[in-house]
Every structure is written in structure tokens, then in C-alpha cells.
Structure 1
Amino acid sequence: MKTHLIFIGNKFTYNPPLKEYILRSLEADLAFIDMISFLKDGDTSLFLYLEEALNAANRVVIVTTKQNFSTIGKVICTATNDNQILRDGMLIPQKASLFEERSYLLEYNGSFVNVLQMDEGEKMPEILLHNSEIKAVAHIFEEERETLVNILTPIAQTYEVHFDFVQKVEGWLRLDIYSKKYGDITKFMEASKKLLPKKFIASSNIIEYVIDKLYHSGKKVSFAESCTGGLLAYYFTKQNGASKILEGSLVTYSNALKENWLAVDHTILEENGAVSAAVVEEMSDGALNVSDADYALAISGIAGDAGGTDEKPVGTVYIGVRSQTQHIEKHLHFFGDRNYVQHQSALMAIKMLLLLDKETFF
């Protein structure tokens, strides 16, 4: 049974932080959303669209505003031959089997429908529609997809689970594992880890995993960012516990600040340019020296959409990762718009950190 999410209201299109909060909450509870639709306020196709969704034998989540909440209830009642009644101050369909504040659930013609009312500045209401599948997430590094299919398929068959891959960046695959009632995800994960001991991480949130590993090993990290503009720091600071392991981040966008804040040698900047392996090596060294960190990650590149040259086209990025005993630098070329290049750069830096110290992170 597929899950269809329907946003009804202009604000869910034009207020990205609100939309992203709702999506994070739903994905944590429902695991996978197969389809997302957006309908504007006053959309004349609303009745036909909802009627079709209700008859599709799917799991449907409707997120709407206080302004539209009772109207959606009326439309659902018309489509299901029902009436609205007042329950705990809410007008909801009489056939609703469960209800909480700003949320109700009903079953109709094989479909399960959860209607949620959400506006700016509000806490997410209780999600009454829950995932029927058990799901787990793992991350696998430095393995080809085809090789992993051959390795993991026999294990999945043994423990009655199924899996799918999504590439985060080159050399980093996210593994989604699903199980019905009789599957054993735990044993699948244990067997997979034994076969891939320094390549397999079982965690739904890789940043939380890194934070936990650093905290329990008594280590800290710092960042020096240029083209990512603090995105790497944001990845960490949006997670609980970041203050335990993150010393800080220096966004040194100009050459002057690379020199003054990170002690990047002026001659190296002049001879190699800010986007170079030599410069990110010095940036990571500087970030380590000005902090009490055990690791430093540095990123410099040309995110675009302009500013590239024949020698260094848009999407050229250099990443340096350093510990107290070793350092590595990579020259990469990412494709996509400015924001996508920035996100790929930050994810690659995280991957490089994990692989720099496998004893700590694996």
C-alpha cells in the first residue's frame, strides 16, 4: 500500500521551512512517502482530486491549514457519503475512527486517510497513520552497487527482508531495509556488518552517528568553509548534541580571511589560487591550530552558477580532511546548480572524515 501526501494551501509551497518541518515529522513516522501533491487555496479540482485519492486504496495524509480544515472535512464527507460532527471543538467526519487535536483518521474503501491541520509556528499534530512495515537504514562506503547486490541478496532472502540503495555521493550508498511481520532486520544488519566490517554503518542519521562516536571517544571536530558558506556546520548544529563535539566553523570566503584567520600562506594562495589542494591543506591545518579539535574539515570550490574557468570549471571543489596524525585532500568535480554542488561538497567532506579514521567510526 503506497503513501500519498497531499498539501492543501499556498503556504506549504511558499514557506519552505514549514514544509520541511512537516516532511521531517512525517518521514520519521511513515518511513517512505511515495507521492507528494500540492493544491493551492481555492483549487477547483479539489473534490475530484480527493475523491480519486480516497478510492485508490492507498494511505493518504492530507495536510491543510486551519482556514481549510473544515472545508476538507466537508469534501471528504461528500465523497464518502458521511456527515460532519463536532468532537472536542473540531468539525470532523462522523466515520473518523481516531482523532486527536488537529488530527483525525478514517478508513474508506480500502484507503486510510489522516487529515492534519498545520499552520506557521505550531507543533506538528499527532500522526495517526502509522507505517505497517519495519524499516532500518544503513550506510555503505567504497563498494559498487552491483557487488553489494550479490553480497546482500542471499542474506536478505535468509532473513526475509528486502532492500534498496540510494547514492548520497560517489562511494557512499544509503541502504534502506524493509521487513514485513516475519522478517528479521537485526540479524540481516549483523550479518551484513560482518561481511563489510569497515564499510558498513547502521544508522538512520549519519550526523547523529558521527556526533555519538566523537563524543564517546572524547574527540572534537572543526570546519573551515569557503564555497559551502557554513553548510557543513549547519548539518551538525541542526542535530542535538552538536555542542559536545563541534568546536566551531570559520567561513573564510575571501583570501584575506583565509590568510588572517587560518594562516594560509599568501604565496600559496597567489601561486595555486584559493580553489586548490594546497590551500585546503592549509585551511584544515589552520582550523586545527586555532581550535581544540582532533579533526578539521576544509572546503573550497566554485559552486557557481558563474565564476569558472577552463582550468577550474564550475563545480570544481577541493576538500581537505585532517586529524592530528594524517591528512588527505581531494579534487572533485560536481554537477548541478549552486545549492546542489554545496550539498554534495558537504556530504563528501563527511564521508572523507569517516574514512580517515575507520577505527573510530567503524
Structure 2
Amino acid sequence: MKLHLIFVGNKFIYNNSLKEYVQRSISKSFDFIDNITFFKESDNTLFLHLDALLNTDLKLIIVTSKQNFSTIGKVICTITEDNQVLKDTMLIPSESYVYEKGSYLLEYKQSTINVIHVDEMQKFPKLLLESDNSKEVLNIFEEDEESLRAILNPMAQTYDLRLDIFTLVEGWIQVNITSKKYGEISKFIKSAKQLLPSKIIQTEDMATYIIQKLTHYNKKITFAESCTGGLLSYYFTSKNGASNILDGALVTYSNEIKANWLAVEESTLEEYGAVSAPVVKEMAEGAINVSEADYALSISGIAGDTGGTVEKPVGTVFIGIKNNKASLEMHLQLSGDRNYVQNQSVLYAVKLLLLSDKDIFFEI
């Protein structure tokens, strides 16, 4: 059954942080939204749009403000020939069979509708609509997508599963698994781990997974960033528990700051340039010395959209890692606009971290 999401209200069109908060909250229960539509409060086409949708087989989430919550209820009642009643201080359709503060659920013909109100600086109400499917996510490393499809697709058919397989960055493939029987998913995952030992991490939230692992082993991490401007740090600090593993990190754009804050040798900067393997190596060493962390990741590159040269074109990125087991540098030539290069750089850095200590991150 397809899932449609409708935003009603100007604030959801213009307030990106609120809109993204709502979508993140919904994505905790649903891994895919088939259609997203936005309506302003004054849009008279909303009635016709809802009337058409409610006569089809779908799941529908309507998100609006508290101010427009009862208005949406009136529209739904007009379509469904129902009346609004007062339940727990909310005016909602009388046919709503499940309701919580700021949220109610009702069925009409073959459709299931969850109406929610949320405003700025408010907690997202309880999502009453439930997914039909169980889901799990596998992250598979050091395999190519074509080979992985050849291995996993026949297994998926055996267990009656749906697989969505895609590459995040080279050498890191994500597999989204859905089924109406969780037992079949668990059997599939067990078989996959036997076929691909020490290559699979089962999680839909890699940052949280890493935080939990490092917390368990009482390990700390730090970052020295240049072209990503703190995006790698944000990858972790946007998650709960980040303070358990991260005491601090440094964004060092200029050569002077790289030298003064991270003790990168001026001779190294002069000979190789800031975007180079020797510099990210010294950046990682400097970060780990300053922070006394167990792991340090460093990134320096040319994210663009300008600033490249013939020798080092836009998209040239170097990543370094240092821990008690390894000191390693990676040279990348990435494509895309500035933000995509930055995001790819972060994912490659995370991949480098995972592969640098398989004993911790790839426990069986």
C-alpha cells in the first residue's frame, strides 16, 4: 500500500528545518514515502485532491498546524459524510478510532488516514499509522554492487523478500530489506553474514552504531577538517550519545591554522600543498595529540565549485586516519557540486574508520 504525505500550511513550504524535522520523524517508521504534496492554507484544490486520494487504496499522513487542524477535519468530514466531535480537547471526525494528543487515525473505504498537527519548537506527536512491512538495513563493505546482486537476489527470492540495493560510495553498499514476515528477514541476514563474513554491519543509522560501539569500548574519536567545514563532526554530533565519544574537533581552513593548531609542518605545506596525503597525515597526528583520542580522522580537499588546478582539480580530496593500529591516507577524485563532494568525503571518512578497526566494528 502506497504512502502519501501531505503538508498543509505555508510554514511547511518555507520553514525547511520544520519540514525536515517532520520528515525525519516519519522516516523512523516508514523507509519510503511514495508522494509528498504541499498546500498553502488558502489552496482551494486541497478538497478535490483529498477527495480523489481517499477513494483509492493508500496510507495517508496529513501534517498541518494546530491552527488548521480542525479545518482539515472539516474537509475530511465533508468527503466522508461524517461529523466532528470533541475528544480529549480536539475536534476530530467521529469515525476516528485511535487518537492521541495532536494525532488521530481513521479509515475510509480502502484508505487509512493519520492527521497530525505540529508547530515550531514542538515535539512531534505520536504517529498512529503503522507500516505493513518489517524492515532491516545492511551495510556491506568491500564488495561491488553487481557481485552483491548476484549473491543476494537469489537468496531474497527464497525468503520472499524485497531488496533495494544501492551504492553510497565506492565500497560501501546499502541493502534495504522489507518483508511482511520478520522471521524471513532474520534468516536472510544470518545467511548473508555467513557468505560475507566481516563485511556486514546491520544498522539503518551508522553514526549511532559507531557511537554505541565506541561507547561500549570506552573509545574516543576526534576530527580535523578543512574542506568539509565541520560536516564530519556534525555527522556524529547530530546523534544522541555523541558526547560519550567526542570531546572536541577542529576545523582548520588556512595553512596558518593547520600549522598553529595541528602542528602541521610548514615545510610539508610548502612542499606538498594543503591538499595532500602528507598534510592529512600530519593533521590526524596533530588532532590525536591535542585530544588524546583513540581515533583521528582528517580531511582536506577542493570541494569547489572553483579553486581547482590542473594538478589538483575540483573534487580532489585526501582523507587520513590514525589510531593505535594504523595510520592511513586515501586519495579521492570526486565529482558533483560543492555539497555533494563534501558529503561524499564524509562517507568515505566514515568507511575508512570502520575498515581501520574491524575487530570493533564488524563483530560477529
Q: TM-score range by the shorter chain?
A: over 0.9
TM-aligned CA distance change 1:294 to 1:182, over 3 Å? closer
Partner deviation per Cα, 1:97-123 (whole Å, 9 max, x = no partner)? 211111111111201010000100111
Separation in 1, partners of 2:318, 2:182: 47
Counterpart residue identity of residue 176, structure 1: N
Task: Report the Cα distance in structure 1 between the residues aligned to 2:162 and 2:236, rounded to whole angstroms.
Answer: 31
Which residue of structure 1 lines up, in the alignment, with residue 214 of structure 2? 214
Contact kept? 1:138, 1:204, Cα under 8 Å: yes
* Secondary structure, counterpart of 2:247 in structure 1: strand
- What amino acid is aligned across from residue 325 of structure 1 in structure 2? K
Structure 1 stretch 84-93 or stretch 283-292: which is displaced more? 84-93
* 1:3 Cα deviation after fit: 0.7
Q: In structure 2, how many angstroms separate the alpha carbons of the residues matched to 1:239 and 1:15?
A: 22
Alignment RMSD (CA, Å): 1.5
- Structure 2 distance, partners of 1:88, 1:210, is 42
Is residue 328 from structure 1 mapped to residue 328 from structure 2 by the alignment?
Answer: yes
Distance in 2 (CA, whole Å) between partners of 1:174 and 1:31 is 13
3-state SS, counterpart of residue 29 of structure 1: coil
C-alpha contact (below 8 Å) 1:98/1:128 kept by paired residues = yes
Q: SS state of the match for residue 249, structure 2? A: strand
Query: For 2:156, what is the secondary structure of its paired residue?
Result: helix
Structure 1 equivalent of residue 231 of structure 2? 231
Taking the aligned partners of 1:166 and 1:113, their CA distance within structure 2 comes to: 31
Amino acid at match of 1:270: E
Single out whichever of 149-158 and 121-130 deviates more from structure 2. Answer: 149-158
CA contact (8 A) 1:159 1:183 kept: no
Partner of 1:127: 127
Report the counterpart of residue 18 of structure 1 in structure 2.
18
Residue in 1 aligned with 2:298?
Answer: 298
**Aligned 1:20-99 pairs, distance under 5 A:** 20-99=20-99
- Letter of the structure 1 residue corresponding to residue 146 of structure 2: E
Q: CA deviation at 1:242?
A: 1.5
1:198 is aligned to 2:187:
no
1:317 and 2:313 matched = no
Percentage of pairs with the same residue: 58
Q: Is the 8 A contact 2:227 2:302 kept in 1?
A: yes
Structure 1 residue 315 displacement after superposition: 2.0
Displacement of 1:332 in angstroms is 1.4
Larger mean CA deviation between 80-89 and 3-12 belongs to 80-89
For structure 1, which segment, 181-190 or 92-101, has the greater mean C-alpha deviation from structure 2 after superposition? 181-190
Range that drifts further, 93-102 or 211-220: 211-220
Structure 2 segments unaligned to the other structure (5+ residues) = none
Mapped contact 1:160–1:182 kept (Cα < 8 A): no
CA drift of 1:154 comes to 3.1
Deviation at 1:46, TM superposition (A): 1.1
| Structure 2 SS opposite 1:184 | helix
Give the distance between the partners of 1:91 and 1:191, measured in 2 at CA.
51
Per the TM alignment, residue 182 of structure 1 is displaced from its structure 2 partner at its CA by 6.9
Query: How far, CA to CA, are the matches of 1:252 and 1:44 in structure 2?
Result: 52
For residues 7-60 of structure 1, what are the alpha-carbon distances to aligned partners after superposition, in whole Å with 9 as ceiling and x for unaligned? 111211222221222112111122322222222231222111222222221100
Partner secondary structure for residue 38 of structure 2: strand
Once residues 31 and 160 of structure 1 are traced to their aligned partners in structure 2, the CA distance between those partners, rounded to angstroms, is 19
Aligned equivalents of 1:217, 1:341: Cα separation in 2: 32
Farther off after superposition, 241-250 or 192-201: 241-250
Q: Relative to 1, partners in 2 of residues 1:13 and 1:166: Cα closer, same or farther, differing over 3 Å?
A: farther
* Deviation, structure 1 residue 184: 1.7
Rounded to whole Å, the distance in 2 between the matches of 1:118 and 1:348 is: 36
Measure the CA separation in 1 of the matches of 2:155 and 2:216.
Answer: 31
The answer on whether the counterparts of 2:62 and 2:114 sit within 8 Å (CA) in structure 1 is yes
- Post-superposition offset of 1:183: 4.8
Q: Distance in 1 between matches of 2:265 and 2:320?
A: 16
1:247 counterpart SS class? coil
2:273 maps to what in 1?
Answer: 273
Q: Which runs of 5+ in 1 are unaligned?
A: none
Secondary structure of residue in 1 paired with 2:44: coil
- Contact in 1 for aligned 2:141/2:200 (Cα 8 Å): yes
Query: For structure 1, which segment, 174-183 or 206-215, has the greater mean C-alpha deviation from structure 2 after superposition?
Result: 174-183
CA pair 41-336 structure 1, distance change in 2 beyond 3 A = farther
Residue identity opposite 1:112 in structure 2: T
Partner of 1:248: helix, strand, or coil?
coil
In the other structure, the counterpart of 1:186 is 186
- Bigger mean CA offset, 295-304 vs 334-343: 334-343
Q: Aligned equivalents of 2:148 and 2:272: distance in 1?
A: 40
What per-residue deviation string (whole Å, max 9, x for no partner) do you get for residues 323-350 of structure 1?
1232221221222222222111111100
Kept after mapping to 2: 8 A contact 1:135/1:178: yes
Q: Structure 1: which 4+ aligned runs deviate by more than 3 Å? A: none
3-state SS of the aligned residue for 2:113? strand
Q: Aligned in 2, Cα 1:184/1:264: closer, same or farther, shift over 3 Å?
A: same
